[in-house]
A = this chain, B = another copy of it.
Amino acid sequence: MPRLETTLAEIRAHGGRVTPARRAVLAAILDAGEHHFTAADVLAAVDQAEPQPDRATVYRTLELLTEIGLLKPLPLNGEAIVYHRTDHRHGHVVCRVCGAITEVPEQALIDFASTLQQETHFTIDADCVAVSGTCEPCAAAMTHA
């Protein structure tokens, strides 16, 4: 999802229309610079847009972007769905204590996916892998406790 106009073109290419609401949602996602976010993040961001898109529209737009393949929901167990921009390919390690998300080195992911493919016959979506763990600061905090 490199630039706003490019993405809007992709929406058109998929038979979708370009509307102010969709511009606002895309702008919010692109401006944030973050590669991970929740619907709530987007809702907060478009809160300042004019005209302000409705909650339902934001959800529907996220769904659209997911269908088109520009976003993917991460398999996490939080209270909300975390989306991930697919223009940044990598796995994720999420700290179960503080929620920090760190990227998994590409090679480690490829090796793991390949092993799993051989041993379980599952095709891993390397771009959508998330594992839970404890980040260094939180691990240290737990030791001192």
Contacts and interface: CB of A to CB of B under 8 A. Distances in A.
Given A77-B74, A77-B77, A116 B94 contact: no
Interface in A102-126: 102-105, 108, 111-112, 115-116, 119-125
Contact of A133 (B76, B119, B125, B132): B125
Interface residues of A, number: 36
A87 to B, nearest CB: 19
Contact of A132 (B93, B96, B103, B125): B125
Given A116-B131, A122-B135, A129-B131, 6 more contacts: A75-B132, A104-B116, A105-B119, A108-B119, A111-B112, A123-B139
